[in-house]
Structure 1
């Protein structure tokens, strides 16, 4: 079992840990040292036990805040998943029907006949004005 030296609040501690967990111990010690250093800057020198207690409480407070945020995020995620599930289980909406008017063939033929007559009249008018 490896012995690891960590520094918290300017004090050195020797701590044992499992093989391969040294990185996690150093990371946790760095967080605790950050809080302890912050305390030392604000309050000054204090007994080791009090410093560790206060730093631990500060970290616990931050952790509780993060856990609250995770719970809120989980709640939002659950709501979003429920909405997606409701959406996916609903039948697809019916396609919108759009009716396009169609001009009957006899109307088209009549309009073509009127156009032809109008052109013939225009030709007669042009021929008479020359």
Structure 2
């Protein structure tokens, strides 16, 4: 079982972990150290037990906030998935305007007339 030396709040600790878990322990200890540094910066030197307790509580508070955010995001994702399933089950009817063929013919005739007038004007200039 590997033993690691970690530093939290300027104090060194020897801790053991499972083989292959060293990276996770270092990451967790860095998070705890970050919180401890905030405490030390605002309060100053405090007893080791109090520093660890307060740092752990600060991390727990952040974790609770993240869990609340995650639950809210999961609820939004579930609502979006339900809306998507509803849309798939009951596709909306979209009405597309159809232009009658005689309107297309009239527009083509007007365009041809406009081009003929433009051509005559070019000849005059």
Q: TM-score, normalised by structure 1?
A: 0.73
Uncovered stretches (5+) of structure 1, i.e. residues with no partner: 103-130
Task: Provide the C-alpha distance between the structure 2 equivalents of 1:63 and 1:41, rounded to a whole number of angstroms.
Answer: 22
Change (3 A) 1:37 1:91: closer
- What is the count of residue pairs matched by the alignment? 103
Please name the residue that 2:51 is paired with.
Answer: 51
Task: Provide the C-alpha distance between the structure 1 equivalents of 2:91 and 2:43, rounded to a whole number of angstroms.
Answer: 65
Please name the residue that 2:69 is paired with.
Answer: 69
Task: Name the larger-Rg structure.
Answer: 1
Spell out the pairing of 1:20-39 with structure 2 (5 A cutoff).
20-39=20-39
Change (3 A) 1:96 1:8: same
Please name the residue that 1:12 is paired with.
Answer: 12
Question: For the aligned residues, what is the CA RMSD?
Answer: 1.8
Task: Provide the C-alpha distance between the structure 1 equivalents of 2:93 and 2:67, rounded to a whole number of angstroms.
Answer: 41
